[in-house]
Amino acid sequence: MFYAVESMSSDLYIDSQNYIGIEKSLENVGNGPYLAIEINKETFYIELKDKNYWSIGRGKDNVLVVPDNCISRNHAILQRTETGEFYLIDLGSRNGTFINGRRVSVPVTLRNGDSITFGKTQIEFYIPSLRNKVVTEKALLLSEKDAQTSSMLERRLMSVVVMDLRNFTALTRQTEEEKLSQMIGHWFRESGQIIRGSGSWVDKYIGDAVMAIWFHHSTKVAQREFLTILQAVYQIYSMTKTLTEEYSLPFELKVGAGMNTGYAMVGNTGSEDNPDFTAIGDTVNTAFRLESATKEVGIDLAIGETSYDYLKKIPLVQKRFQKYTVNLKGYEKAILTYGTTFEALPEVLVSETDSEED
């Protein structure tokens, strides 16, 4: 049995006898995005229209109310951005949210035909405009750079950046769902635009973090490439600061960042119909671990030794970045990292510009 309501107005309601606002025939559903739900071997359809977010859970204050004892009272949010993308955001549910059989954190970009599981309830997401679109913005960008988009893996020199929202779980417990949905959608949308503007793309939305990759030439890497990355990191930090006041959040919204440079394998790790062009290897893993290390040592940005080697000749870098020895999860030996605060980055960026003009 499935119920879908908005507050207590019952805009959408369904049980074994009553069907209000729910379509029983796909022919009655428009050309826009919709959900398909199977109940008692019969499929029902809900058009995703007239809203930008849909809260999902067992509690009757949700837009989509699912009376399933295996889901949380406030389980997840489905968010539509201004660009028409849909994010599914798990709100720290007890039994988790699964997409195509894999448990996910928040947020995840939904694709046409994705199967979503909440507890014992299964829902399928469809967006007809993307039905035949299997090339993502990542693959498009890579093809423009004459990159291989086949299943072959290629070894490339790259810099990987991971940026993570701090205390997001606490925020989900202290913020109204509509406001939280709007804020997280804003953050991921703006972060993606900043990253794309710097010559990269958002490789992954993982939990409350984004991962981006910048490719370098294998024999010659300019310092300016690394300054471009740091500029993007600073812009995301600055954008994040504005959200606290804009959305009247209960505490200041903060981010942490990890950056690592090295060789990794890149290629299409997905299927032909669902490509996932990404990077794998120790360089990527270390970037995630460095971001986590910022919490341990009390800094905002941690970079690996190779990244620092490219940056250290820039004025003020050695003064503003401090050396730390950290123990990273999964690594037998402690490693060196160099860290700083976001507030110190403008000085580094300006000093590099001045030195070039001289």
Tell the residue number behind the tokens 């929202």, with chain if given: 165
pLDDT of 42: 78
Q: Is there a contact between 56 and 122 (Cβ–Cβ < 8 Å)?
A: no
Cα distances from 52 to residues 5, 84, 337, in angstroms, run 15, 9, 41
The number of residues in the chain equals 358
Cα distances from 59 to residues 8, 34, 74, in angstroms, run 11, 22, 6
Q: Are strands 64-65 and 76-80 parallel, antiparallel or unpaired?
A: unpaired
- How many whole angstroms separate alpha carbon 223 and alpha carbon 309? 10
- Helix (H) / strand (E) containing 269: none
pLDDT of 82: 64
pLDDT of 18: 45
33-72 pLDDT per residue, tens:
999 987 777 788 888 887 777 888 888 777 888 878 898 8
Q: Flag residues of the chain having pLDDT under 50.
A: 1-20, 131-151, 270-275, 354-358
pLDDT of 149: 38
218-263 pLDDT per residue, tens:
878 888 999 999 999 999 999 999 999 999 999 999 999 999 999 9
Q: Are strands 13-14 and 154-165 parallel, antiparallel or unpaired?
A: unpaired
pLDDT of 27: 73
pLDDT of 268: 62
Q: Specify the 3-state DSSP secondary structure of 232.
A: helix
